[in-house]
Structure 1
């Protein structure tokens, strides 16, 4: 098997880990349904072998990146570019090679879309994979500025940077309390004093 000759340009659409996983599952399901059990088992083994191979290669890349010959560590701009790239991040996280923890990667995901779709973390449960988010910058009116497409963009970023997040729940902003109005009235007239 030879490597593809056309390299993916950096500006080309980024495939998501979620989409790739779904496509692999669909192909495996087709092979299992239309073929004999040995074919399905062989296909699953093929996926595992390739995952192990690519995982080992990525581990080697990360080893060389973190341990430069002069001992200075990775170039900060190169490290930032790699860890800020959704495809690279999802591959590193998939193989448990990402140097940042889940919370940091969730933060990176939210930062990557913050200018268009501001959101902030309301909590993450690692046992269930549930991330609670709330729209940021709603202006205190109690109405979320995020529409369905905006939420999908945020969720796609989270999926790329932190694939261990399996569910995203949006917290509703509480309605802002009405301000108490200060009543201004005339001062009661003072009683007349005897002279």
Structure 2
């Protein structure tokens, strides 16, 4: 692999969708042998890369003061480890890591429904609780980070919590009042 290839950003979610689309096209082509061969190829490559990743993770975690923690914070590496069921952190730790990567949105985990895969989050309002629609941005940022770190999260529900007590409007006293 050249240095230029290594530096090219790869989006795990888009790559997964692309593989699925190619497999669907092969299935739709009407040639069941080609579709079966393509699926076998994908499975074989997944097994091969999964075994390699397991070995790398083992070697890194065995090294004193190893760089495994830095690797776990990388979205691409984390998504590969999750895909191959090799990520050493549990789901809640991976969700916390994902939310930490979008900390500018001040998101806090409230609950995770395993049945539906829905993660409920609370976002702290900034700027005095204006209620301006930054919740959609926070949800999109959380969904993108969670796709890499915790793909078992299939939906995100963001609720906004007021940052503090409501502000009181203070105006001039009515005429005649002292």
Q: For the superposition of Structure 1 and Structure 2, which TM-score range results when normalised by the shorter chain?
A: 0.7 to 0.9
Q: Compute the displacement of 1:47 (Å).
A: 0.7
**What's 2:143 paired with?**
155
**What's 1:7 paired with?**
5
How do 1:102-141 residues align onto structure 2 when only pairs under 5 Å count?
A: 102-115=91-104, 117-138=105-126, 141=129
**What's 1:183 paired with?**
none
Alpha-carbon distance in 1 for matches of 2:68, 2:159: 33
Local SS of the residue matching 2:153? coil
The gaps in structure 1 that reach 5 residues or longer are 181-195
Q: Compute the displacement of 1:119 (Å).
A: 1.2
Q: Compute the displacement of 1:145 (Å).
A: 5.9
Q: CA offsets per residue over residues 140-169 of structure 1, 9 Å max, x none?
A: 737366243342122101111111211212
* TM-score, normalised by the number of residues in structure 2: 0.81
**What's 1:94 paired with?**
83
**Root-mean-square deviation over aligned CA pairs:** 2.7
Q: Compute the displacement of 1:58 (Å).
A: 0.4
Note closer, same or farther for the CA distance 1:133–1:14 as it changes in structure 2 (3 Å cut). Answer: farther
Q: Compute the displacement of 1:124 (Å).
A: 1.0
* TM-score, normalised by the number of residues in structure 1: 0.74
More helix by share: 2
Q: CA offsets per residue over residues 71-116 of structure 1, 9 Å max, x none?
A: x3x42xx22310110111111111111111111111111111113x
* 1:19 aligned onto 2:14: yes
Local SS of the residue matching 1:57? helix
Which of 1 and 2 has greater Rg? 1
* 1:67 aligned onto 2:55: no
Aligned residues of 1:120 and 1:133 also touching (Cα < 8 A): yes
Alpha-carbon distance in 2 for matches of 1:30, 1:56: 28
Match among 63, 69, 74 for residue 80 of structure 1: 69
Alpha-carbon distance in 2 for matches of 1:153, 1:127: 23
Aligned residues of 1:110 and 1:120 also touching (Cα < 8 A): yes
Local SS of the residue matching 2:72? helix
State the number of aligned residues: 168
Alpha-carbon distance in 2 for matches of 1:162, 1:88: 12
